């Protein structure tokens, strides 16, 4: 194997490992959000929660949503 092919194979292996890790981490984040959703109303979170924390959660989810939309569009283009 040429060094370039070895690097490409290593890159691919890292990508697969990162995807699997991300899948688990996102499932954990979804569980955390579900715990909030089941325990507290939106009104409680907004009126009693720390505003900065709520704003940071919103910003994180919005950024993730934009990224996932890009992934989804790319997948649809491949179909």
State mean pLDDT over 63-73.
97
Cβ-based neighbours of 1, under 8 Å, separated by 6 or more = 9
Write the pLDDT tens digit of every residue in 27-61: 999 999 999 999 999 999 999 999 999 999 999 99
What is the predicted pLDDT for the residue at 38? 98
Distance CA 17, CA 11 (A): 10
Best CA proximity match to 68, nearest among 14, 33, 31, 19 = 19
pLDDT exceeding 70 applies to what percent of the chain? 97
- pTM to 2 decimal places: 0.81
Listed by start position, the domains of the chain span: 1-39, 49-79
Tokens 């993730």 correspond to: 64
Cα–Cα distance measured from residue 29 to residue 60, given in angstroms and rounded to the nearest whole number: 11
pLDDT of residue 11: 95
pLDDT at 2: 61
Alpha helices, H only, the chain: 3-39, 42-48, 51-78
Which are the contacts of 16, defined by CB distance < 8 A and separation ≥ 6?
A: none
Mean per-residue pLDDT, 59-70: 97
């Amino acid at each position: 194997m040429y060094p370039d092919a070895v690097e490409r194979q290593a890159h691919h292996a890292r990508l697969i490992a990162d995807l699997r890790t991300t899948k688990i981490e996102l499932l954990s984040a979804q569980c955390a959000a579900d715990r909030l959703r089941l325990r507290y109303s939106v009104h409680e979170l907004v009126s009693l929660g720390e505003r900065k924390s709520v704003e940071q959660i919103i910003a994180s989810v919005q950024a993730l949503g934009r990224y996932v939309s890009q992934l989804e569009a790319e997948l649809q283009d491949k179909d």
